Chains A and B, each alone.
Chain A
Amino acid sequence: MKFGVVVFPGSNCEHDAYYVLKKVLSAEVFYIWHKETSLRLFDAIILPGGFSYGDYLRAGAVARFSPVMKEIVEYAKDGGPVLGICNGFQILLEAGLLPGALIANAGLRFLCQDVFLKVGSTDSAFTKTYTEGQVLKMPIAHYHGNYFADEEVLKCLQDEDRIAFQYSSAEGDISEQYNPNGSKLNIAGIFNENKNVLGMMPHPERAAEKILSSEDGLGIFKSLLENN
């Protein structure tokens, strides 16, 4: 199974994702420069975190027009798995591959901390190694992570079981006090209609080894590996 990790000017988590796949899980993984226009070689694509194009205009707004994005839209339409982490999530939203938008955190602070996440749907190529309602610990590191969508979209996400992760307490309580950034419904990650695209603000690649205090993020990469 071949993973591709896309690199935009200003990405800064690409090596973490590469490292987890290559060193922790012994998978085959390649970097994809944002000017590439062929993705057929890959079995899964990861859009890593960072500050593509300096977050100018809006986070992800410029990266979304990189040459590789046209291919990624096609790749996703054909059912290829695409995981967007943090800035990657912002890019997927700007590209219209996922609904809604991410605005500035409610507290207007850059948040860099561990959070607890309750797993929503386990019925996906990214989350099948988890159990429904399982609580994961992962770090967040963002300023624009406040998920917004209108009521219609939120209802649709709920009805179609497309909420992947919600901010919660260590016990899995999803109430406002455990919402770090003001996201609607405490949303930390969502799927597209076919559940082959996942966007999430927390960083699973930074929670993939014991020394990093949590291995809870590994499940996402293991799920992808199990697809083959």
Chain B
Amino acid sequence: MWKAKIVVTYKSGILDPEAKTIQHALGNLGYRHIENVEAGRYFVIDFDASLSKDQAENLTKEMCAKILSNPVIQKYSYNLEEVNS
């Protein structure tokens, strides 16, 4: 069985006010040496045992492009892991 771990973040050049606020808060807490902070959404999707790796990957890409991310402002990355059922 395949498990997709998906991270959706804002594209570079888009000022994410949430990430900026987190960066600011980290600075206020005394954390130095931080150049940039990105914030995003994390999804874990478990596929059933009938899917091959290629099928799972194709579905993951399709879902990311169609609904899990908004391509106008966001980018996505994913990892596929094989898990024992």
Residues of A within 8 A of B (CB): 57-58, 61-62, 65, 93-94, 99-101, 103-108, 146, 148-149, 182
Instruction: Please tell me if the beta carbons of A103 and B67 are within 8 angstroms of each other in the complex.
Output: no
Q: Provide the residues of chain A in CB contact with B72, threshold 8 Å.
A: 93, 99-101, 148-149
Which one of B12-20, B26-34, B49-57, B75-83 is at the A interface? B12-20
B16 lies within 8 A of A103 (CB): yes
B71 and chain A: residue at smallest CB distance:
A101
A104 touches B68 (CB 8 A): no
Contact A108 B21 (CB under 8 A): yes
B70 in contact with A58 (CB, 8 Å)? yes
Q: Which residues of B contact A (CB under 8 A)?
A: 10, 14-18, 21, 41, 67-68, 70, 72-73
- Write out the residue numbers on chain B whose beta carbons fall within 8 Å of the beta carbon of A107: 17
> Is B68 a contact of A148 with CB atoms below 8 Å?
no
> What would 11 more interface pairs be, CB under 8 Å, given A57-B68, A94-B70, A148-B14?
A58-B70, A61-B67, A61-B70, A62-B67, A100-B72, A101-B70, A101-B73, A103-B10, A104-B18, A105-B17, A182-B15
27 A–B contacts, CB within 8 A, in A order: A57-B68, A61-B67, A61-B70, A62-B67, A65-B67, A94-B70, A99-B72, A100-B72, A101-B70, A101-B73, A103-B10, A103-B14, A103-B16, A103-B17, A103-B73, A104-B16, A104-B17, A104-B18, A105-B17, A106-B15, A106-B17, A107-B17, A108-B17, A108-B21, A148-B72, A149-B72, A182-B15
How distant is B12 from chain A, measured CB to nearest CB, in Å? 12
Give the chain B neighbours of A62 by CB distance below 8 A.
Answer: 67
* Cβ 8 A contact of B67, one of A57, A106, A149: A57
